[in-house]
Amino acid sequence: MGHTYARIFIHCIFSTKNREPTLLPERRVPLGNYLGGIAKSEGFHLIEAAGAADHLHLLILLPANYPLAQAVQKLKGGSSRWMGPNFAWQQGYGAFSVSPSQVPAVRRYIRNQEPHHRKRDFAQEFLSLLRHCGVEFDERYVLG
C-alpha cells in the first residue's frame, strides 16, 4: 500500500487542577474556540468541546502521524496560558478511542455535559468511563 489511511477519533477528558470549579460557564465556549485554533494550527481537528466547572471533554480527530500525548500537551499547555495565570489543568488525562459510527453519540454526550452533571459528578463519570472501556486503574490514585 503506497499511502496511509486513518481516521483516529479520540474522546479526551481532563480536569482542572485539584478539580477546582474554575471553568466558568461564560469562558467555556471561547475556550472551545481557542482549543479549536490550537488543533488547527497543529494539524489535527477538534470536533467537539464542552465541559463542566471542573473538567473538559474533547472529541479530536488525529492524523496517523500525530501522537495523542503531543496533542493533549499542546491543548492543555496553550489553553492554560490563555485562561490566565491562576488557572491550571490537573496532570494527566483520559483518552478513549471512538468508532466512526459512534461519533454522533459522543458529540451529543459532550454537548450535554451541563445536564449530565446535575446527576453525576466528574469522579463518578470518569470512573464509569474507565470501567466501561476496560481500563485498569487503582481507584486510590486515579483522580490525583
Q: Which of 41-55, 92-106, 113-127 shows the lowest per-residue confidence on average (mean pLDDT)? A: 113-127
List the strands of the sheet with 94-98, edge to edge: 45-52, 55-62, 8-15, 94-98
What pLDDT is recorded for position 58?
98
pLDDT of residue 134: 93
Question: What was the pLDDT predicted at 139?
Answer: 85
Give the whole-number percent of the chain exceeding pLDDT 70: 99
pLDDT in tens, 21-71: 999 999 999 999 999 999 999 999 999 999 999 999 999 999 999 999 999
pLDDT at residue 76, as a whole number: 97
Q: Give me the mean pLDDT over the 94-122 stretch.
A: 92
Residue of 55, 64, 57, 74 lying closest to 16 (CA atoms): 55
**What confidence score (pLDDT) does residue 14 get?**
95
Reply yes or no on whether the pLDDT at 77 is more than 90: yes
What is the SS3 string spanning 13-32? EEEEHHHCCCCCHHHHHHHH
- b/e per residue 19-48 (b: at least 16 CB within 10 A): beebbeeeebeebbebbbebbeebebebbb
Does the pLDDT at position 116 exceed 90?
no
Q: What is the pLDDT of residue 1?
A: 66
Between 1 and 76, the higher pLDDT residue: 76
